[in-house]
């Protein structure tokens, strides 16, 4: 459930592939100078291209590094959440964002895909909530039992 990739513009697929290959080889996602260095055809025809707003637009989520913070922005812009596999050339699915947010695999989000992304991005990650609850409980002299998610 919730594991369907959103449709992408044809011209973005090339950028996703470049970003994923770059990230896997360099250990970081490409920034504006990296796009410029590899050719004009990689730069999107956005008003923000060439400005500081574009500098880190295409962020690849590498499998062996912490993910960037999942926010409700993922509902409108998948460029900040690109899958690391250059063959797949896509942004993350709702289910992958759900995993990053530490929700259990059986937790179901409903509504349109945009609604699901927004719900995940607006949510407090369950594991973070559990850790905060432990701190609050300890401050109150209470013992927390149970398992984290």
Query: What residue segments make up the domains of the chain, in order of their start?
Result: 10-123
Q: Using CA atoms, how far apart are residues 31 and 61, in angstroms rounded to an integer? A: 14
pLDDT at position 21 is: 96
Which are the contacts of 14, defined by CB distance < 8 A and separation ≥ 6? 41, 42, 89
- State yes or no: pLDDT of 128 exceeds 60: yes
| Parallel/antiparallel/unpaired status of strands 60-61 and 82-83 | parallel
> Which range among 15-19, 22-26, 73-77, 126-130 shows the weakest confidence by mean pLDDT?
73-77
Q: Give dist(CA 97, CA 81) in Å, integer.
A: 9
Architecture of the domain delimited by 10-123: Alpha-Beta Complex (3.90)
| Contacting residues for 123 by C-beta, under 8 A, at least 6 apart | 101, 103
Residue 148 pLDDT exceeds 60 = no
Residue 59 in contact with residue 29, Cβ under 8 Å? yes
Beta strands in 65-125 (DSSP E): 82-83
In this prediction, residues 1-19 reach a mean pLDDT of 88
* 103 token code pair: 């929700």
Dihedral sign, Cα of residue 65, residue 29, residue 125, residue 95: negative
More confident residue, 79 or 84: 84
Mean pLDDT of the residues in the chain: 87
Beta strand residue intervals within the chain, DSSP E? 60-61, 82-83
Model pLDDT, residue 54: 67
Per-residue confidence (pLDDT) for residue 149, from 0 to 100: 45
In the numeric block, which tokens belong to residue 46? 């956005």
Mean pLDDT over 118-145 rounds to 91
* DSSP E strands, 4-148: 60-61, 82-83
């Amino acid at each position: 459930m919730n594991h369907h990739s959103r449709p992408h513009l044809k011209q973005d697929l090339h950028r996703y592939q470049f970003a994923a290959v770059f990230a896997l080889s360099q250990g970081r996602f490409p920034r504006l100078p990296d796009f410029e260095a590899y050719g004009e055809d990689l730069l999107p025809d956005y008003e923000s291209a060439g400005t500081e707003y574009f500098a880190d637009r295409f962020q690849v989520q590498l499998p062996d590094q912490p993910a960037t913070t999942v926010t409700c922005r993922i509902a409108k812009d998948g460029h900040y959440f690109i899958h690391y596999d250059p063959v797949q050339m896509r942004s993350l699915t709702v289910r992958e964002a759900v995993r990053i947010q530490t929700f259990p695999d059986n937790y179901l989000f409903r509504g349109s895909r945009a609604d699901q992304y927004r719900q995940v991005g607006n949510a407090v990650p369950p594991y973070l909530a559990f850790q905060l609850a432990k701190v609050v409980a300890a401050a109150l002299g209470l013992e927390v039992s149970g398992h984290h998610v």
